[in-house]
Amino acid sequence: MKIWIDGALVDKEHAQVSVFDHGLLYGDGVFEGIRAYGGRVFKLKTHLERLLASAKSIRLTMHYTLRELEQAVRETVEANAASDAYIRLVVTRGVGPLGLSPFTCPKPCTFVIVDRIQLYPKEMYAQGMPVVVARRPRIPVECLDPSVKSLNYLNNILAKIEAIDAGVHEAIMLNTDGEVCECTGDNIFLVMGGRLVTPPTSAGLLNGVTRGFVMDTLAPVMGITVEERRFRIEDLFTADEVFLTGTAAEIIGVTKIDGEQFGDGSVGPITQQLMAEFRRRVSKDAPED
């Protein structure tokens, strides 16, 4: 495996980040998870624009332009002969002395990993997956804006531990007002009366790239209306269907919440249609913008 790190492709065994890097010491940095399908990098421009926006939000000065990062991703995909892959692009604050100040780090560290990922068992995409509602709330927007895809994922990890302890793969997270926010690594949608309903980003969630693809591309071409509005956990049980979206997860239906079967226990028809349309589009000619 080849890793791109600060302008050079190196073997996995030689890809090293300093123990004095503030990304390691303080979770100070940003990242993107990206997919490649059939040699095309899905929504690469959108991912890179989000990365640059995240970096700007935390006043992290990038040493590579969007075009240079695009080239780095493509070089790494090619070097690993990975036509279908999961890509992790990371920018840390870089090496600096101990202490919280980010301005003591003269240069960020940038690296690209190309590998594979399988968040959920394959059979769950056909049968649906059970989830739980996490007791731990999402960090409020006022404390840490989730539009910044930062290296600090401890809030999500602790909720993920709740899911694992309950014997499932995912947990729904609520904001501090008790409203449905997102899952530990995925966005959430309801199907209600033939339309899609999803929380607005102001509720405290990451504006996922796959979320946007469902809302802006898949739903319109399928004639499905999308509504962004706040809702609470009880609304999940009055919905016709529930599904999750994410770069690693793609689209997956939910069939059980906190042990309670959802609907008839099968993946709903609209979720199935969206999954099929997503698969058709990324398999044929995955959009890169």
Tokens 């209306």, residue located: 225
Closest CA to 202 of 223, 182, 225, 172: 182
pTM given for the model:
0.95
What's the whole-number average pLDDT of the chain?
96
**pLDDT higher than threshold 90 for residue 287:** no
* Count of C-beta atoms within a 10 Å radius of residue 250: 19
Q: How far is the C-alpha of 69 from the C-alpha of 194, rounded, in Å?
A: 40
Residue 42 has pLDDT above 90, yes or no: yes
- Whether the predicted pLDDT of 289 surpasses 90: no
Domains of the chain: 2-115 (3.30.470.10), 122-284 (3.20.10.10)
Residue 207's identity, in one-letter code, is N
Category of 27 on φ-ψ map: left (φ > 0), alpha (ψ -120 to 50) or beta: left
246-260 tens-digit pLDDT: 999 999 999 999 999
pLDDT at 154 (0 to 100): 95
Of all residues in the chain, the percent with pLDDT exceeding 90 is 93
- Asked whether residue 288 carries a pLDDT value surpassing 90, the answer given is no
* 43 is an active site residue: no
Tell me the pLDDT tens digit for each residue of 149-199. 999 999 999 999 999 999 999 999 999 999 999 999 999 999 999 999 999
Residue 112: CB partners within 8 Å, gap ≥ 6?
A: 3, 4, 5, 72, 73, 76, 87, 88, 89, 90
Taking the C-alpha atoms of residue 143 and residue 145, their distance in angstroms, rounded to an integer, is: 7
Q: How confident is the model over 112-137, as pLDDT tens digits?
A: 999 999 889 999 999 999 999 999 99
The DSSP bridge pattern shows strands 260-261 and 226-228 to be unpaired
Residue of 2, 43, 149, 160 marked active site: 149
Q: Are 249 and 277 in contact (CB under 8 A)?
A: no
**pLDDT on residue 262:** 81
pLDDT tens digit sequence for 196-248: 999 999 999 999 999 999 999 999 999 999 999 999 999 998 999 999 999 99
Q: How big, in percent rounded to 5, are the helix, strand and coil portions of the chain?
A: 35, 30, 40
Q: What is the DSSP track for 173-189?
A: EE-TTSBEEEESS-EEE
What residue has token string 């509602």?
133
pLDDT at 285 over 90: no
| 235: enclosing H helix or E strand | helix 233-236
Compute CA distances 78 → 7, 48, 51, 70, 272, whole Å: 15, 18, 22, 12, 32
pLDDT bracket for residue 17 (50, 70, 90): very high
Residue at 93: amino acid letter: R
